[in-house]
Amino acid sequence: MSDRDALIARFLDQAGWGRAIRRPLAGDASFRHYDRLTLDGTTAVLMDAPPPKEDVRPFLGIARHLSGLGYSAPAIMAADEALGLVLLEDLGDDLYTRVLKGANAEREMALYAAAIDLLADLHTRPAPPDLARYDEARLLAETELFLDWYIPRRFGRTAEPAEREAYRATWRAVLPLAWRAPAALALRDYHADNLIWLSAVRQKAGDPTGFHRVGLLDFQDAIVAPFPYDLVSLLEDARRDVPMPIVEAMMMRYLAARPELDEAIFCTAYAVLGAQRNVRILGIFSRLAVRDGKERYLGFLPRVWGLVERDLAHPSLAPVAAWFARAAPPDTRERDA
C-alpha cells in the first residue's frame, strides 16, 4: 500500500466509509481522480486531488455556494482540505454525454434548454464576494497557450518575439468587447461531460423547465466572467458536436429569458469569448499531448478549429482572424478526415 493509499484509507475510516468497495469512476485532464464507493447499498464518490498539484478549497467553496442557492451541486459528506480528499454525494451516471448519445432532436433540445435555463437563473444571483474576475490580463495570458504549445507542436518552431507581440496586440483590440456584457459567476467548464441529468425528484416548485435536474460537477475553476462565457462552454463543446439549430435556439432562449440585455453586445461578447476559449483549448490539448502524453486530446482539434473559425468569422474579430490567417493558414490546421 502506498503512502497515498494509506491516507485515503484513514480518511474513509474516519468518514465511516472504510468498509466501502471502491471502483475507479473517472479521471480528467487534471491530476484529480474519482472512485465510486458502495457501502450497504449506498453510494458516494471519492475525489482524490493530491496537493500541491491540486487544491480542493475552490471546489468546496463553490459547491457550498451553489447548494446554498438551490442548485444541484453534490453535497459535501466529508473533506480533508490538507490532504486533497473529498467525499461527495453520488449524482449518478446519467452524464449529459451519455444521455445525449442516440437522443432524438426533441430530447437533445430539452436537455440543452434546462442547462440554458439554469444559466439564465444563475446570472441573476450574486457571485461569491471574493471570487476573482476573468480580467483582460488573464484572458490574454490564456490565449498565449496557443503560442507556447500549439505552434511548437504543429509547426516545430517557437513563436518569434515580433509575432508574439502582434498576437497580443490583436487580442488587446478585441477583448474589451467581451466586458461590455454584464458579468456573473461562471462555472467555466459547463459542458456535456460535466452535467448530469438527475431524476425528476430533483425538480422543484417554481422550476417549470426542470433546471434543478441539471447536476453540476466540475466548477473548481469558477470565476466572475461576462454572461456569455458559460454559454460558449456549453454550446461550443470541444468534445461533441452541438447542432447549429440547437445553438441558435439556445441563444434565443437565453436572450428571451434576459430581455434587458443588448443582443448585439451579447453576441459580440459571445464570439470574442468563444474565440478566446477555443484558442486556449488548442494550446491546452497540445500541452496535454506533448507534456503529459495524453495524445487522445489531439483527436478533438479538428472540431475545436471549426469552432475557432466560426467565432473568428464575426466582424469584430477581424484583427485576430487576420493574424491566424498568416500564422496558421487554413490549409495547415487539423481537419476531420
Among the ranges given (100-104, 114-118, 121-125), the one the predictor scored with the smallest mean pLDDT: 100-104
In the prediction, which pLDDT does 2 show? 83
Report pLDDT for 212: 86
**What rounded mean pLDDT belongs to the chain?**
93
Query: Can you give the three-state secondary structure of the chain, one letter per residue?
Result: CCHHHHHHHHHHHHHCCCCCEEEEEEECCCCCEEEEEEECCEEEEEEECCCCCCCCHHHHHHHHHHHHCCCECCCEEEEECCCCEEEEECCCCCEHHHHHCCCCHHHHHHHHHHHHHHHHHHCCCCCCCCCCECCHHHHHHHHCHHHHHHHHHHHCCCCCHHHHHHHHHHHHHHHHHHHHCCEEEECCCCCHHHEEECCHHHCCCCCCCCHHHEEECCCCCCEEEECHHHHHHHHCCCCCCCCHHHHHHHHHHHHHHCCCCCHHHHHHHHHHHHHHHHHHHHHHHHHHHHCCCCHHHHHHHHHHHHHHHHHHCCHHHHHHHHHHHHHCCHHHCCCCC
Confidence (pLDDT) at 208: 45
- Tell me, what's the pLDDT at 207? 53
Mean pLDDT of 81-86: 96
Whether the per-residue pLDDT at 210 is higher than 80: the answer is no
- Give percent above pLDDT 70 in the chain: 95
Q: Which three cell numbers stand for residue 20?
A: 466501502
pLDDT at 202 over 90: no
Task: Indicate if the pLDDT at residue 131 is higher than 60.
Answer: yes
CA 277 from centre of chain? 10
Q: Which of 14-23, 24-33, 111-120 is the least confident region?
A: 24-33
pLDDT at 320: 98
Residue 209: predicted pLDDT: 52
Q: What is the mean pLDDT of residues 36-64?
A: 94
Band of residue 211 on the pLDDT scale cut at 50, 70, 90: confident
Q: Considering the chain, tell me which residue range(s) the CATH 3.90.1200.10 domain(s) occupy.
A: 96-332
Please, where in the chain does CATH 3.30.200.20 lie?
3-89
Q: What is the pLDDT of residue 199?
A: 75
**What is the per-residue pLDDT across 184-199, written as a single tens digit (0 to 9) for each?**
999 999 999 999 999 7
Would you say residue 243 has pLDDT above 90? yes
CB atoms closer than 10 angstroms to residue 259: 7
pLDDT of residue 201: 56
| CATH code for the part of the protein at 96-332 | 3.90.1200.10
Q: Which residue has the higher pLDDT, 209 or 293?
A: 293
CATH for the 3-89 domain, from 3.30.200.20, 3.30.9.30, 3.20.20.70, 3.40.50.300: 3.30.200.20
The pLDDT score that the predictor gives to residue 76 is: 97
pLDDT at 60 over 80: yes
Q: How confident is the model at residue 203 (pLDDT cuts 50, 70, 90)?
A: low
Which residue has better confidence, 281 or 336? 281
Query: What is the Cα–Cα distance from 143 to 283, expressed in whole angstroms?
Result: 8
pLDDT at 206 over 70: no
